[in-house]
Amino acid sequence: MGKEETFFDDITSGYATRGEAIVLGAAMLDGEAVKDAFVRLPLKTFNRHGLIAGATGTGKTKTLQILSEQLSQQGIPVLQMDIKGDLSGIAQPGEAAGFILERHEKIGLPYEPQGAPVELMTISDEQGVRLRATVSEFGPVLLSRILELNDTQAGVLAVVFKYCDDCKLPLLDIKDLRKALQYITEEGKEEISREYGRISTASTGAILRKLVALEQQGAALFFGERSFEIEDLMRVDDKGRGYVNIIRLTDIQDRPKLFSTFMLSLLAEMYNTLPEQGDSGRPELVVFIDEAHLIFDEASKALLDQIESIVKLIRSKGVGLYFCTQLPTDVPDAVLSQLGLKVQHALRAFTAKDRKAIKLTAENYPVSEYYDTTEVLTSLGTGEALVTALDEKGRPTPLAATLLRAPMSRMDVLTDDEIKTLTARSGLVKKYNEQIDRESAYEILTGKIEIAASEEAREKGRTDRKRTSGGRSTRMNPIIKVLTSATFIRGVFGVLNKLTGK
């Protein structure tokens, strides 16, 4: 048996599946695709998370597109974090260009242009379904980690949440939390001290400053009502295709704190909301996080621990997380070790640091008798990648340099008119984009302060009037006293009698 036949047998047996699967492409040997040597990814292991990495321009975004549309075709909803604005074209069919047909002929797959059902979403000023969450839903523990509070400050924040909960003061948006923090150290200081202990103004001041910093990144748009329901990410259309939910984040690239806050809250809400799935054979939702380094770059140790914990636990809820970034080293080792699927596009060795990074990356992949991994990493072309996954029994598949299939949807963005049309016909836009500002902690506490100030003013007025009234009753004006005396009156009448001659 020749080398190519042996290779074909190793790939087809290594990527064989009994259950549902998607075809990512065909394995390559000596730089050429081996037709029908399909690299299949079983749906059963899609909740085991994954990594898509590679240098700029090597095809990472198209890989996200391929995986998303293939999952959608299988009836699995997808959530995409679109940082660069490159993924909206998945809503429209692609074009059967000559180079695409040629690629699919090499792979052994037909090419059928088609779009996927898409819902555009936003946490900023972009068009789409408005995603929000209330401060109460975050809770004091998660919010403390996001704000990077020390133990004392975190304790103060816990008291604020407890007080608002006891007094039925809804914490919905940032102004609610800010007003509550101000109240417990000013007008409500004595009340708080009696019930919960003394609160340091230094601690509340530090919390307020960090809250302002988060607000300056646009958090005011995110915190509030109506709160988004996770179930609305799990929809399928009338053809049984899963919706591809695209969160448009092009205008928050320079606001990583807001991005990481949003991501962590969303994942925590998924974990708390979704039921345990067990071994169902397919995921309930797959989440693709583009430019994943934005989550990890400025994350504190506490925040990284929280992310690591969620990554470990959320797969039991049927949710798969896929991080897309340039280098695997952008992802912390504790998270990287949890990722079952790895799709590694080409890396470029321009400096000694680059060569070191390539060597470290190569060590993350299984040893192969067909490839020198370090050499292949620098020689892959656009739309080619090293792939290894987990089979249906959870075992690593053979390393395969893969010629990836082309996206069936448009490999370009939607026009402004197409975005407006897609948004206009969205039922979720009508549900979530209504502005709601019901009575909450800010309004209740403001009213309470105003009532107290009014009572204080009335009491002061009563005291002043009493003091003034009391002064007049004990001391009579001397002139009035003389004019009203009996002697003065008799004298006046005596003078009048003489003048009248009586």
- Give the tens place of pLDDT for each residue, 14-31: 999 999 999 999 999 999
pLDDT of residue 482: 55
3-class DSSP assignment, residue 279: coil
More confident residue, 459 or 120: 120
pLDDT of residue 67: 97
Strands (E), 76-115: 78-82
Contact by Cβ (8 Å): 440, 173: yes
pLDDT of residue 377: 92
- Give residue-wise pLDDT tens across range 165-191: 998 889 998 999 999 999 888 888 888
pLDDT of residue 226: 86
Tokens representing 192?
């708080």
Whether the predicted pLDDT of 502 surpasses 60: no
Task: Kindly report which listed range (91-100, 108-117, 289-298) carries the lowest average pLDDT score.
Answer: 289-298
Give the burial class of 502: count Cβ atoms within 10 A of its Cβ; 0-12 exposed, 13-18 middle, 19 or more buried: exposed
C-alpha 345/C-alpha 201 separation (Å) is 52
Helix ranges, 228-300 (H): 256-273, 293-296
Average pLDDT over residues 128-144: 88
Whether the predicted pLDDT of 397 surpasses 90: yes
Element (H, E) at 403: strand 400-404
Q: How far is CA 173 from CA 165, 177, 223, 224, 282, in A?
A: 15, 7, 5, 5, 37
pLDDT of residue 501: 60
Average pLDDT over residues 263-277: 86
**Biggest CA-to-CA distance, the chain:** 160
Task: Kindly report which listed range (142-151, 293-302, 333-342, 433-442) carries the lowest average pLDDT score.
Answer: 293-302
Contact by Cβ (8 Å): 176, 168: no
Look at residues 6, 19, 13, 26 and name the one whose alpha carbon lies nearest to residue 46: 19
pLDDT of residue 109: 96
Contact by Cβ (8 Å): 90, 116: yes
Contact by Cβ (8 Å): 94, 435: no
- Give residue-wise pLDDT tens across range 202-232: 999 999 999 988 888 778 888 888 888 999 9
Q: Count of CB atoms within 10 A of residue 233's CB? A: 24
Tokens representing 340?
């079952």
Q: What share of the chain is helix, strand, coil (3-state, %, to 5)?
A: 50, 15, 35
Whether the predicted pLDDT of 466 surpasses 70: no
For the whole model, what pTM was predicted?
Answer: 0.83
pLDDT of residue 103: 96
> Mean pLDDT for the chain?
86
Look at residues 176, 62, 38 and name the one whose alpha carbon lies nearest to residue 406: 62
What phi and psi, each to the nearest 5 degrees, are found at residue 337?
-70, -15
Contact by Cβ (8 Å): 242, 248: no
pLDDT of residue 456: 61
Whether the predicted pLDDT of 472 surpasses 60: no
Contact by Cβ (8 Å): 320, 47: yes
Task: Kindly report which listed range (7-11, 101-105, 249-253) carries the lowest average pLDDT score.
Answer: 249-253
Tokens representing 396?
């690593």
Give 497's pLDDT tier (boundaries 50, 70, 90).
low
Contact by Cβ (8 Å): 320, 48: yes
More confident residue, 490 or 404: 404
More confident residue, 118 or 312: 118
Look at residues 123, 115, 16, 22 and name the one whose alpha carbon lies nearest to residue 76: 22
Whether the predicted pLDDT of 252 surpasses 60: yes
Q: How far is CA 206 from the centre of its chain?
A: 24
Give 365's pLDDT tier (boundaries 50, 70, 90).
confident
Rounded percentage of the chain residues whose pLDDT exceeds 70: 88
Q: Which residue has the tokens 């075992």?
A: 395
C-alpha 324/C-alpha 287 separation (Å) is 11
More confident residue, 455 or 124: 124
Whether the predicted pLDDT of 448 surpasses 80: no
pLDDT of residue 499: 62
Average pLDDT over residues 281-308: 82
Q: How far is CA 64 from the centre of its chain?
A: 19
pLDDT of residue 78: 97
Q: How far is CA 350 from CA 54, 360, 399, in A?
A: 14, 16, 25
Contact by Cβ (8 Å): 391, 98: no
Average pLDDT over residues 101-127: 93
pLDDT of residue 139: 87
Whether the predicted pLDDT of 299 surpasses 70: no
Annotate 417-476 with DSSP letters as a single string: HHHHHHHHT-HHHHHH-S-B--S-HHHHHHHHHHHHHHHHHHHHHHHHHHHHHHHHHH--
Annotate 153-193 with DSSP letters as a single string: HHHHHHHHHHHHHHTT----SHHHHHHHHHHHHTTTHHHHH
Task: Kindly report which listed range (179-193, 300-314, 332-346) carries the lowest average pLDDT score.
Answer: 300-314
C-alpha 24/C-alpha 249 separation (Å) is 27
CATH superfamily of 3-132+225-432: P-loop containing nucleotide triphosphate hydrolases (3.40.50.300)
pLDDT of residue 268: 84
> Could you tell me the residue ranges of all domains in the chain?
3-132+225-432
